[in-house]
Amino acid sequence: MTQLQQRRLILVSNRLPFQLLEKNGKVSLKESDGGLVSALKSFSEREEASNLFNEKWWVGSADFPQARWDKFTAKSKVKHAFEISPIFIDTKVYNKYYNGFCNATLWPLFHYFPSFVEYDENTFKAYEEVNRTFADKLAEMLRPGDILWIHDYQLFLLPQMVRERFPDATIGFFLHIPFPTFEIFRLLHRPWKEKIIRGLLGADLIGFHTNEYVQHFLKTVRMVLGFDHEFRVVNADNRLIKADLFPLGIDVQRFSTASNLPEVIEQKEQISKNFEGKKIIFSVDRLDYTKGVTHRLAGFERFLELHPEWREKVVFVMVVVPSRQIISKYNERRKLIEEQVGRINGKYSTLQWQPVLYRYSHLSFAELCALYQASDTGLITPLRDGMNLVAKEYVASRADQSGVLILSELAGAASEMGEAILVNPVDKEEVAQAILTSLNMSPADQKANMVQLQKRLLDYDVTHWVNDFLRQLDDTKQQQIAQQTR
């Protein structure tokens, strides 16, 4: 990729890598949560990234007012890995876009929750408007040779909007959530369906986490617009567009070396002291109905019911991180989880022991790593998940190669993590059995599985992921140019 060195990389995502908070007139920066942000930030902080591009930009919507941004940039000496270009969007429009079409229509549908989908023409209009605002911003910034990398379902229409204004632009798109089967996708209103697929086909390269998602997408393109494909290349009116799989990796080193950090050591000691003599099962998720938290609790309850010999000998530490709080389905989920935790604890607690230790809050990096390291079992059972980076973080954190991962077969990560105990997350008998197997697994078997899992994580970490995507984007562009000049 020698020719990249003189070029600029422009990342575009709905969320910026940080939030700006203001307290008593003082503005401070808070890193955003979430897989996309942590993956791209890790990559950008690596030396490879600084040598690879002339400049790196990150364009995203601002969830802070313009005045706060101005105050911050005037005073701050913080050097970020990216130049940041925030987009300020009218709050009412943003809410209809984010809480409406993005997270009450696309999110439930793409995660196979069709009965949760809201159909509202106004939220689609807001979605179009926000995508257009992003396109306007990019039109002000783009220069010949720039590489544009657009991320996720909030910006499906953007590739085509940019293409219309810049026919020669180099545009990559990556989807961080599942791409569903056509039978699910077709439930969208007809004009929305067509606009979404046309929007995506504005890109040169479209990346997904798994081969299944690629196949679903290719079939959908044929069914919605009639464009055929060969070897994952779509021919859209003589423009060749590639769709391929790029399973998102993590910054393995960041997690594997965290065991040396003093604050992690301290927290881990505290956890081990608190739960002395007990096995620890751990899970952490954003509060989301897709994460399968209530089913997971049912599996744990069934385990306690079937195996009384384990009562008082095991504790389930379950952390749920607040997310999308305005949307009613999220709030309802929180109530359901809390009722269920209360019920299980009410039924099984003794004076010395509480089976579920539930926490509804954000975790610091040190707390997260300490919990990854101190737990005997990582119980990660989403009902659907594009990838699930928690599973990868858990494995990367096990520097001593102990511990067992129980993973839902409906997470994208399952296709790369066959040494985990794979479960159907809605089957409480299967989850209960997996918990038992994990707690009884010999240290030698734990190690054998962890060695394989860790090796695969290292072979395709976040830097490989970025390099692989950008190299293929470059290749695809070269092939298009060759085809046009033929």
- The catalytic site residues sit at 176, 385
Where do we find the tokens 């594997």? 256
Please, what is the minimum distance in Å from the beta carbon of residue 443 to ligand F6P? 34
Give phi and psi for 5, each to the nearest 5.
Answer: -60, -30
Please, what is the minimum distance in Å from the beta carbon of residue 457 to ligand F6P? 19
CA distances from 277 to 14, 151, 273, 373, 411 (A): 45, 45, 9, 16, 32
State which residue, 110 or 166, has the beta carbon closest to ligand F6P.
110
Alpha-carbon gap, residue 155 to 391, rounded angstroms:
26
Q: Which two tokens stand for residue 5?
A: 């060195």
Closest chain position to ligand F6P (CB): 34
Residues 361, 334 contacting (CB under 8 angstroms): no
State which residue, 383 or 434, has the beta carbon closest to ligand F6P.
383
State which residue, 196 or 315, has the beta carbon closest to ligand F6P.
196
Of the candidates 6, 8, 13, 4, the one whose C-alpha atom is nearest the C-alpha of residue 137 is: 13
Alpha-carbon gap, residue 278 to 419, rounded angstroms:
25
What totals of helices (H) and strands (E) does the chain contain, helices first?
Answer: 19, 17
- The end-to-end CA distance of the chain, in Å, is 23
Q: Which two tokens stand for residue 215?
A: 């196949």
State which residue, 184 or 344, has the beta carbon closest to ligand F6P.
184
* Amino acid letter for position 69: W
State which residue, 32 or 452, has the beta carbon closest to ligand F6P.
32
* Amino acid letter for position 300: F
State which residue, 199 or 299, has the beta carbon closest to ligand F6P.
199
Please, what is the minimum distance in Å from the beta carbon of residue 385 to ligand F6P? 8
Please, what is the minimum distance in Å from the beta carbon of residue 94 to ligand F6P? 12
Please, what is the minimum distance in Å from the beta carbon of residue 34 to ligand F6P? 2
Please, what is the minimum distance in Å from the beta carbon of residue 36 to ligand F6P? 3
Residue ranges binding ligand F6P (CB under 6 A): 15, 34-36, 152, 176-177, 323-324, 386
Residues 319, 359 contacting (CB under 8 angstroms): yes
- Please classify residue 326 by burial: count the beta carbons closer than 10 Å to its beta carbon, then call 0-12 exposed, 13-18 middle and 19+ buried: exposed
